[in-house]
Structure 1
C-alpha cells in the first residue's frame, strides 16, 4: 500500500541514495520459516527516534482500522478477529448502536476467516493476533483483502541485548531496552491475488527497538526498521521502494502528531464522528450507491456546476440517510431487496420524507429510486430536474416556505396580498404525520428547521436532520450568530466554565467509534472542551450551536454528528432520532407492550406549551430586526427575489 502521503518525516541525509535493490541484505530477524529469505536495508531503518514503545504500538493498532491513512485507495480496515477481544468486528460495532428492526439481521452475519499461522521468532513471544479486511474505495477496481497481523514482544535477555552487548557480555543496560515486532501476512495463495493497494510481498514486518536513558525511564532512543519476505524472482520495483520508505515516513509523521495516552480499542477520540451510525455501514452503502448512480448522473449533468463534487456529495449524504433510517425504522433500500429478490417496492414502515430547499434534486431522486417515499421543494426549479424520470419530477416542487408564525403575522396585519404576489406556490410546513424532514445546506431554512418540524405536528414533532451551510437569521438575512456563552466565558479566562455539552444544547451520551483522520487524538477532558469551544467560535460553528439550541428549546433530544461527505460543511444536527426509534419499535416490533408514552409524543397541554415556546423563540430571535411582522415582510421580499432571480442554482453547495 502506498505509504508516502503527507510531509517528509525521515532524515533523508542518512539514506544512501541508491536503488533499494542494491542495498538489500539479509534480515537480522530469525523469522521462521524461510528466515534466510527475509531481507531489509539500511535505507529501511530510521534511528534516533524519541517515541516510547507504547506510542508506536498504539499507533499501529489504530492503523489496523485506518489503513486509509497510508493508502488513498482504501476506505478502512474491518476487524474480523482480535485475540485480545478489544478491537470490534463490524457486527459487534452494530450492536453498540441504538436501533431497531434490521439490526438483528446485520448482527447475525458470521465470518469464517481464520488467522494465518504465527511465525516462530527466537527471542520474541506472540502477544496478540488480529485479522483485518482491507475495504477498497472502488470495489470495481480492487477487491477486499484479508490480512493477519501478529504482535510480538521480546521475552528474554538475549532478545534485549544489542549485538555488541551480546558479543562483549555487557549487561549493564539490559533491562532498559524494549523491542516489539509486528508481522503482517496477506491471505493470498499467489502474488497474482494481491490487489493494487497492497505491496507485492509474501510478508511484511515492522520492528521497533527502544533503549531507555539510564537516568530517565520515560525517555530514550528508538530505532524503527522494515523487513520483508519477497516473492522468488520478483524484482524490487520503484513503486515497492516508495511504498516501504513511505511506511516508515507515515509511522514517524503520525507518531509525532499523537500523544502517548491512546485508546486500547485503536479508535481516535472524536466523540461526534461515527457516533450515530457505524462507519462501515455508511461506507458500504456509499460504494453501492456510487456504483449504481454516479456515472449516469455525471454523464447527464446539465447544471453549470462541477458534476462530480455534487453527485458524490449527495450520494454520500444519501448513504447516511439509508443507514439512519435503517436504524430508526428498520427499512432497507431497494438494492438490498433486489439482492434478496423481495417483491415489495415500498416499505409501509417508512413514514416518508420531505427535502426542504432540495436544490438539484439528486438526493430526492436517489431516495425515491431506492424505495423511500417522499418529495422535495425549492424556491426555483433546477435544470437538473429535467434529467430525472417523470415519476421523480412529479415529486420535485417549485415552492417557497413561509413559516407559519410569519404567515399568521402577515394575515393579522391584513397584508395577505404580499404572499400572493410571490408568484409561486407557498408552503407553511404542514407535512404528513411522522414525515422525516431533510434540511441539507438549506441556508435560510437551517435555523427554521427544528421550529418547522415541531410546528408541523406539536403533538408528535417530526424528526429531522439539518446540515448547516451559510448563516442566516430567522428573517432570511445573512447573519453571524454570536458564539455560545460558554465560548465567551472561556475567552475571559473563566476556569470554572461549563463545557458546551452541559449547556442548553442538549448533547446526548456519545459512543465514540473508529474514524479515519484525526490522530491528534485521545486528549484529556480539558483539551476536548477547548477543541469544542474553538469549533463554536467560527461562523459555521456558531450557526450549528444556534440551531442545536433552538431545537433543544423546542423540546428535541438533539444530537450532532460529523457526516462523511467531501465538504467542510459536514456537521449533521439530528432531532428526534431516539424518540422515533422507540416509537417505531413499539409500533412494529414490540406491539402490545402497553401505551407508555415515549419521548417526543405530547399531550394537548404539552402541545400548547410547545407552540407557546416556539412563538417565544420566534419573537426573541426577530426582535433584533424590528419584531415578527417586520421579519415576516423581509422574508417575503427575499422570497420574491429567490424565485424571480437566479436563486442558488450556481452556488457550489447545489
Structure 2
C-alpha cells in the first residue's frame, strides 16, 4: 500500500536524510496492552493549514477509496460503520438503484470489528470495518480491516513543550487519531498491497488560532490555525531494520494524505468526505461495475489482446471497451431487469415480471469489441461504422454479420438533399447509408462517436417520436451537426450550479483533467486580486461544466437532449480514458416500463415520466433545433452537403479521428 507520484513538498532541512530505522523513536500514543508503537521525525508534517474537519472528511473519503494510496486496489467495501455514514454495498444498491429487498444479490454481511483499545487522552468516536478489494484476485486476496476514530479533548497540553510556549495560553489543541488494524495476526497472512505492520495510525494535532474567523473555509484565506500530521505504527517483532519498501510506503502514505487534503473541503452535503464527486458512481454503485469488469477482463482480455490486428495499442482499447461493457451490463440490469446469459434462469410460465431485452445498436462501433462482448454476454444487438475495421475479422462469423459498414445520414439532412444532384452525392459515397431506423425501444450506444455525439439524442428521438429511444453517449472530439470540427462555447452558469460547485470538485486520479481551456487565466472585470479569487472559486470545476472543450461538448449534448424532452443524467464512467463522462437519456422512464420489480420512484416523478409524448410537437422541436444549430454554417442544406462530403472521406479512410479510427466516431 502506498502510491504517490507527487514530490514530497516538505522542507528538506526538516528531514534527517537517514534510513527510517535509524530515526525511530517511541510513539507518544499510549495504547492499552500494546507496547512497541513507534514513529519518526521524518514521519511528521508540520505547519499544515487544514482544520480537523478537513482531515476527518479526507479520512472518510479514503476509507472507501484506498486506490488513492495503492494501485493494487480497486476499492474498499464498507462492512460496518458505527455512525452509519458510509454505506455497505447492499445499502448502496438500495439507495442508487431503488432495488427491492427481495431482489438484493446477497445477505447483509456482518464482520465483527477488532476490539478498540483504550488510548490515553483520547475518546473513541467511531468504528468502521472495511474489506480491501484487490485489482487482481489471482495475485492478492481481499483483507478486512478495522478503523477506529478517536478524538482528544478540545484543550489539552501540547506534546511538545516548545509548541505550547509558542501557542500561548489562549489557544486550544484539537486532536484526531485514526488507527487501522488488519484482521490478521501474522505478517505472512498480509497481502502484498498492505504494509507489513500490526497497526498503523494517523494523528492530527491542530492548534486553532483564536483570532482567525470561524467562517474561514478556503486555503486562500487566512488559516484558522496550524496543524501537525504524524504517522505512527506498530511493527511485527523483528530484529531486522525497516525494509526499504515499507519505508517508501510510509512516506508515500503521509505525502498523499497531505496532498489530497489540499483539495478537500468540509461538506455537510457529502457524508462520504469532501473529496467525494457526486457525478461519480451516482447511477450504478462502484462495486457492481468493478466486479463485472473484473469478470469480463478475466474472460476476454487475454484473447482479444493476443488476436489484435489493428495498428493501435490493444490493451488500452480492449480494457476501455470491457469497462464500458461492464457499465452497460449493470445499467441494463437496473433498467430492464436482465442479467448476462450465464446468470439467467429459465422463465416460468406464470412469471409476468420477466422482460426481454429490447436490443442495442452501437453507432460508430469502431473496432467492434463492445458489440462482440455484449453479444457474447447474451445481449442482442448490432453495430455500424462508416468503414470496416481489420479487427472485425477476429470475431466469430455470426458476430461479424452484426457489424455493418454503413454511413448514417441524419433524416433532416436526407430530407433536404433532393433532386438528381443530391442522389448523385449519396450514390458517390460508395457505401450503404441509413437514416437511423432502429427497432422500437432499442438502446443506443454512442461511445466516443465524434460527429454523432450531439446527434445522438436527436437520432434517438427521431427513430421513434412516439417513444424516444434511451441512449448512452460518451463524448470525445467536438463537432457541430454538420460534422465539422467545432468548439462549443462554455455553458452559462446558473445560480444552482454556483451553489453546488464545490461539492462537485473531484480529487481522484481517475477523474478528467482537461488540458484545453477556453481561457487559461480569465480576468475579473474589476481587476483586483479578491475578484480574481472569487472568479476562480465560482467557476464550475467538474468536467461537464468546466470551460474546457470536452466539458462544453458534454454540456451541449445534454442541453439538446433536455430541449427535446429527455430526462438527462450524467456520470463519470470508470474507464482508462480522460474522456469518460457518460450522458444518459431516458433511463428512469425505461426502468419504470421494463423493470417494475424495482422500487418505484415518487408518484409525482412517475406521473411526469408517464405523460404521453406528442410526436408531432417533438418532431417540430427537433426541426427547430437542427435549423438553429446549422444556421451558423449556412443552413441545413449546406450542413447536409458538408456532412456527406465528410462521410465520403471517412469511408475511404481519409478523415481524421481518434485512435479507434476516423470519423463518425472511432
TM-score by length of 1: 0.86
Q: Which residue of 2 aligns with 1:645?
A: 653
1:470 aligns with 2:477: yes
Question: Of 553, 556, 559, which aligns to 2:563?
Answer: 553
CA deviations over 1:224-245 (Å, ceiling 9, x no partner): 2222111122631011111112
Q: What is the alpha-carbon distance in structure 1 between the residues aligned to residue 479 and residue 511 of structure 2?
A: 34
3-state SS of 1:202 partner: strand
Match of residue 128, structure 1, among 126, 129, 141: 126
1:189 maps to 185
Q: Following TM superposition, by how much is the alpha carbon of 1:334 offset from its aligned partner in structure 2, in angstroms? A: 3.4
What's 2:255 paired with?
249
1:301 Cα deviation after fit: 0.6
> Taking structure 1 as reference, are residues 104 and 7 closer, same or farther at Cα in structure 2, changes over 3 Å only?
farther
Structure 1 window deviating more from structure 2 (44-53 vs 364-373): it is 44-53
Q: Offset at 1:529?
A: 5.3
Which residue of structure 2 aligns with residue 266 of structure 1?
A: 273
Q: Counterparts of 1:515 and 1:327 in 2: how far apart (Å)?
A: 28
Partner of 2:375: 368
In the other structure, the counterpart of 1:162 is: 159
- After superposing the two structures, state which structure 1 stretch, 203-212 or 366-375, moved more: 203-212
Residue 622 of structure 1, CA deviation: 2.4
Aligned to 2:591: 581
Query: Residues of 1 paired with 2:331 and 2:347: CA distance?
Result: 21
Residue of structure 2 equivalent to 1:491? none
Mapped pair 1:540 → 2:537: no
Map 1:315-354; keep pairs closer than 5 Å. 315-337=322-344, 348-354=355-361
Query: Counterpart of 1:349 in 2: which secondary structure?
Result: coil
The equivalent of 2:14 in structure 1 is: 14
In structure 2, what is the equivalent of residue 634 of structure 1?
642
Q: Tell me, what secondary structure is at the counterpart of 2:469?
A: coil
> Which residue in 2 is equivalent to 1:145?
143
What's the counterpart of residue 448 of structure 2?
441
Q: Is the Cα–Cα contact under 8 Å of residues 471 and 540 in structure 1 kept in the other structure?
A: yes
Residue 612 of structure 1 is aligned with which of 612, 616, 620?
620
Q: Is the 8 A contact 2:457 2:560 kept in 1?
A: yes
Query: What's the offset of the Cα at 1:217?
Result: 8.1
Q: Is the 8 A contact 1:399 1:425 kept in 2?
A: yes
Q: CA deviation at 1:401?
A: 0.9
Deviation at 1:258, TM superposition (A): 2.6
Please report how far the alpha carbon of residue 122 of structure 1 lies from its aligned counterpart in structure 2 after TM superposition.
2.2
For residue 581 of structure 1, report the CA deviation from its aligned partner: 0.8
Whether the 8 Å CA contact 1:66–1:515 is kept in 2: the answer is no
The CA distance in 2 between the partners of 1:552 and 1:627, in whole Å, is 23
How do 1:386-405 and structure 2 match up within 5 A?
386-405=393-412
- CA–CA separation in structure 1 for the residues paired with 2:609 and 2:154: 60
1:149 to 1:432, Cα distance in 2 relative to 1, 3 A: same
Report the more deviating stretch, 253-262 or 385-394: 253-262
Contact 2:37–2:233 at 8 Å: present in 1 too? yes
User: Is 1:112 paired with 2:110?
Assistant: yes
Deviation at residue 479 of structure 1 after TM alignment: 2.1
Match of 1:66 in 2: 65
Shift of 1:348: 4.9
Q: Deviations over 1:178-217 (max 9, x none)?
A: 2222111001132111111110111111222223346558
Q: 1:213 to 1:400 in 2, by over 3 A?
A: closer
Query: Cα offset for 1:335?
Result: 4.9
Q: Which residue of 2 aligns with 1:483?
A: 490
Matched residues in 2 for 1:232 and 1:403: separation? Answer: 71
Change (3 A) 1:430 1:249: same
The answer to whether the Cα contact below 8 Å between 1:46 and 1:223 also exists between their aligned partners in 2 is yes
| Cα distance per residue 1:569-617 (max 9 Å; x no partner) | 2221111111111111349999xx9xx97627745xx111111211222
Number of the residue aligned with 1:410:
417
Q: Does 1:458 align with 2:454?
A: no
Per the alignment, do residues 258 and 587 of structure 1 end up closer, same or farther by CA in structure 2, a change over 3 Å counting? Answer: closer
Corresponding residue number in structure 2 for 1:230: 235
Distance 1:212 1:348, change over 3 A: closer
- Which residue pairs with 1:383 in the alignment? 390
CA distance in 2, matches of 1:325, 1:519: 24
Distance 1:165 1:617, change over 3 A: closer
Residues 1:177 and 2:173 aligned together:
yes
Structure 1 unmatched runs, 5+: 488-496
Q: Kindly state the Cα deviation for residue 355 of structure 1 after the two structures are TM-superposed.
A: 0.3
Distance 2:457 2:511 in 1: 34
Distance in structure 2 (CA, Å) of the matches to 1:127 and 1:136 = 29
Q: Which residue of 2 aligns with 1:432?
A: 439
In structure 2, runs of 5+ residues without a counterpart are: 215-223, 349-353, 513-532
- CA 1:601–1:395 in 2, change beyond 3 Å: closer, same or farther? farther
Q: Deviation of residue 108 (structure 1)?
A: 4.5
The SS at the match of 2:200 is strand
C-alpha distance in 1 between matches for 2:154 and 2:415: 81
**Partner of 1:454: helix, strand, or coil?**
helix
Q: Deviations over 1:471-506 (max 9, x none)?
A: 22222222223333x26xxxxxxxxx645699xxxx
Query: 2:204, 2:227 within 8 Å by CA — same for their partners in 1?
Result: yes
Task: State the distance in 1 between where 2:290 and 2:124 align.
Answer: 33
Task: Give the Cα separation in 2 of the matches to 1:212 and 1:380.
Answer: 65
The residue that corresponds to 1:493 in the other structure is none
User: For residue 492 of structure 1, what is the aligned residue in structure 2?
Assistant: none
- Within 1, Cα distance between the matches of 2:38 and 2:194? 18
Inter-partner Cα distance in structure 2 for 1:619 and 1:575 = 22
Q: Which deviates more from structure 2 when the two are superposed, residues 308-317 or residues 5-14?
A: 5-14
Q: Relative to structure 2, which stretch is displaced further, 563-572 or 382-391?
A: 563-572
Work out whether residues 160 and 178 of structure 1, in 8 Å CA contact, stay in contact via their aligned partners in 2: no
1:175 and 1:651 map into 2 onto residues whose CA distance is 59
Task: Provide the rounded CA distance (Å) in 1 between the counterparts of 2:486 and 2:262.
Answer: 40
CA shift, 1:514, in A, is 9.5
SS in 2 for 1:115: coil
Task: Report the number of matched residues.
Answer: 622
CA distance in 1, matches of 2:590, 2:400: 29
Q: Measure, in 1, the Cα distance between the counterparts of 2:432 and 2:21.
A: 72
Taking the aligned partners of 2:386 and 2:618, their CA distance within structure 1 comes to 28
Structure 2 CA distance, aligned partners of 1:166 and 1:651? 57
- Secondary structure of the residue aligned to 1:530 is coil
The aligned counterpart of 2:47 is: 48
For the residue of structure 1 that corresponds to 2:316, the secondary structure is helix
Q: State the TM-score, normalizing by the size of structure 2.
A: 0.85
Label 1:99 to 1:630 Cα distance change in 2 as closer, same or farther (>3 A): farther
Change (3 A) 1:397 1:229: same
1:50-82 per-residue CA deviation (whole Å, 9 max, x = no partner) reads 332222222212211221221122222221111
